[in-house]
A and B are shown apart, each in its own frame.
Chain A
Amino acid sequence: MLGKTANGLFWMYRYLERAENTSRFVETGQRMALTRLGSSEGEWRSMMQTAGVLGGFEATGEEMSKDAALDWMLRSKANASSVLMSIEGARQNARLVRTALTHEVWEAMNGCYMRARELLSRKVNERDLPKVLGEIRQGTALVRGATHGTMLRNDIYNFARIGTFLERADNTARILDTKYYVLLPSVMSVGSSIDNVQWETILRSVSARGGFRLVYGNQYNPEDIAYFLILDGRMPRSLAFCVGKIRDNINHLAKDYGTRPDSCAKVAKLTDEYLSRDIEAIIDQGLHQYIQTVLSLLHDLGSQIEIDYRFYE
């Protein structure tokens, strides 16, 4: 396989994952703004901070409002992580690697892009938001489904999966990075309504409210939430789950190609040293610093993969 193709697959699936993540943030933002008594601008600001797109928005000088926030996250061309730009990025990369994709995957990707472009061709009214987001997520889910159902389990699939899980791990880690303080034990934590809302936001942002309830019942507890998002191998957006998948795929590649490049050691270090600890130990030693270390190791792993598999040279 061409190095360029591996790169294109990696980014196609990263962007696809990013489109889903951003749409989930929008959904959460709207939900929180609707159910809060305080200012909806404040909720949106907090949501955009969690999504990591607040800085970019503030740089435009535009005033914060519900509509401005929606537009920035859904369809702004200036926001590289907006739903529309992410889907365009995924489709552009899909065109680049057209020969590596099955007919079904390509058509699903192209169809998803065409529909998203149509739905997001003008400002989205809040009333239409659930329908629009629903359709877009259906589109991305179709690409994912076609990928699982029709692609050979070879290096093509492995690069697609590595892109997916690296983006997802990065997304979860960023949420933890901006919201870590609400997961710290505090004297008056349990039951405070402010905390409850914050925890709910976090869980919604990773589509994990239902999953969490199933495992822990109705009682939110910051340590449980931290464990769920970082270490719980059952939770498909936890750091441990995502990095575990990356490790599997990197090992498949190593077996296929008959070489063990540096990325193998790097992913092993992440799982063995950082994702096999107790949650108590992580919190005792400093949750924020831990998350930042993991983020930087993830970034480093991504760069190593680029080098190992000759994405650019």
Chain B
Amino acid sequence: MDKNQIFDEMWGREESLRPPYGLFKEWFDGEEPARLRAKQREAEDLFRLTGITFNVYGRAEAEERLIPFDIVPRIISGLEWQRLSKGIEQRVRAINAFLHDIYHGQEIIKAGRLPERMIAGNDAFLPQMVGVKPPGGVYTHIVGIDLVRTDDNQFYVLEDNARTPSGVSYMLENRETMLQMFPELFARNRVQRVENYPSDLRSSLSACAPSMAGSSPTVAVLTPGIYNSAYFEHAFLADQMGVELVEGHDLRVIDGRVAMRTTEGYKPIDVLYRRVDDDFLDPLNFNPDSALGVPGIMDVYRAGGITIANAPGTGIADDKAIYSYMPDIVEFYTGEKALLENVPTWRCSEPDSLAYVLDNLSDLVVKEVHGSGGYGMLIGPTASKKEIAEFRKKLEAKPNNYIAQPTLALSTVPVFSQKGLSPRHVDLRPFVLVSPDKINITPGGLTRVALKKGSLVVNSSQGGGTKDTWVLED
């Protein structure tokens, strides 16, 4: 892509400094590159000592790796954020209303706005959730909306994460690290706080407790265990909220409640923030081989004895096949046009779209409907002829499994490299908390950055890094 086709969040298209970066630029120009390089190394040592690592799957020895951290903040003005938050809030409301509807009356299907086959034949739809009303009516207690930007005022939603969005620990630790390393930057810029996230999360979860819980509900975080790639985050959140971090084998159903084994006997849990997939949650109701879950927890849940966050079955809302219907979904439940745009999407299950996609593979990004983490996708413009030919076969064999999107000219933000400031592509995942009476969006989020020049893949498993994300007080 040509340089001026790409929007840089610091320099715009025309190399004129955008206002949110003004004070940062002034500071940066006064700094010795050698000092900054030393700071960059210091940041890595800090991360390593704190243990902010992720485990790499598929290695013989459980290896702990750092996600690279870049010291240049990504800066968003207060006004930009205000506009974005409105769109995010609208979308999250619609997702919750959609989930309620899908597991109850299915009005959206009756109204002809969503084809029935999108639900009936979809593995992400959980029949066990039909007719179940989660405590407080909340399905997605925690949502991460993946956004990309292509211009001053143009954001797109790339993906909704309505199951168990991860990465919030990086948002918090990135800020903590920046505060420790560059206090002077925060004295000049007025950056909105993200530190309240853990206590907001605890209040938000508590507000969704079942009616039988007392005034201070018992909350716990359920992790698959220390070998899980996101274990650090699970432990971090439990620690920051001041709640127990439990594994399946600590829990048992006793007298219609889910209880954890403590040194003083079993103690009931009111709200379980689970970081275990639906399929592994309950061997009696889902995957019988799961050793990570709690036998019978779904029965307790259906009887109203515990809150599971997020509710089982929310995957139907972030399924990539459903994604293409999101503009309709938002309109159907809120009565307003969607404020945040979707990336135009071709559903390969539809013959016309499939034909178009097959003709234009070298220009498109093709994704698996149920894939995640940047695996199993084709990025047309950078793929080799051989890769495209191989992908074509997969696509022709199972078109229903795929959607396609144009390659977007993702915005760039500078990173600090050997050559000084160099533009790299980024995305943004803000984190949203939902409770019965409130939607709370933490100002900022996780900025992921493709550290390789020109690369559009920001996933940490494939060479992506992170940045501190600032929302300024205007």
Contact = CB atoms under 8 A, between A and B. Distances in A.
Interface string B214-244: 0000000000001000010001101100011
A310 B49 contact: no
B42 interface: no
B226 A2 contact: no
B261 A4 contact: yes
B250 to A, nearest CB: 5
Contacts of A3: 250, 261-263
Given A95-B51, A95-B231, A114-B48, A4 B250 contact: yes
Interface in A53-99: 92, 95-96, 98-99
Interface string B431-469: 000000000000000000000000000000000000000
B239 A99 contact: yes
B264 interface: yes
Contacts of A106: 51
B245 interface: yes
B245 A99 contact: yes
Nearest to A93: B226
B16 interface: no
B395 to A, nearest CB: 42
A6 interface: yes
A1 interface: yes
Nearest to B242: A99
Interface residues of A, number: 22
Contact of A99 (B226, B238, B265): B238
Interface string B246-272: 110110000000001111110000000
A262 interface: no
Contacts of A114: 48-49
A212 interface: no
Interface in A1-43: 1-6
A313 interface: yes
A4 B264 contact: no
A313 B244 CA distance: 17
A1 B262 CA distance: 5
B27 to A, nearest CB: 29
A95 B52 CA distance: 11
A227 interface: no
Contacts of B236: 98
- Binding site of B, secondary structure by majority: helix, strand, loop or mixed? mixed
A133 to B, nearest CB: 22
Nearest to B46: A107
A111 B260 CA distance: 32
Interface string A248-289: 000000000101000000000000000000000000000000
A110 interface: yes
Given A4-B250, A110-B49, A257 B245 contact: no
B245 A98 contact: yes
A195 interface: no
A180 interface: no
A106 to B, nearest CB: 7
Contacts of B226: 92, 95-96
B50 interface: yes
A155 interface: yes
Contacts of B235: 95, 98-99
A309 interface: yes
Contacts of B246: 2, 4
A2 B262 contact: yes
Interface in B45-100: 48-51
Contacts of B262: 1-3, 310
Interface of A: 1-6, 92, 95-96, 98-99, 106-107, 110-111, 114, 155, 257, 259, 309-310, 313
13 contacts: A1-B262, A2-B244, A3-B261, A4-B247, A6-B263, A95-B51, A98-B239, A98-B245, A99-B235, A99-B239, A155-B263, A310-B261, A313-B261
Given A2-B260, A99-B244, A110-B51, 5 more contacts: A3-B261, A95-B235, A99-B239, A107-B50, A110-B49
Pairs of residues from A and B, 4 with the lowest C-beta to C-beta distance, nearest first: A98-B235, A309-B263, A99-B239, A3-B261
Interface of B: 48-51, 226, 231, 235-236, 238-239, 243-247, 249-250, 260-265
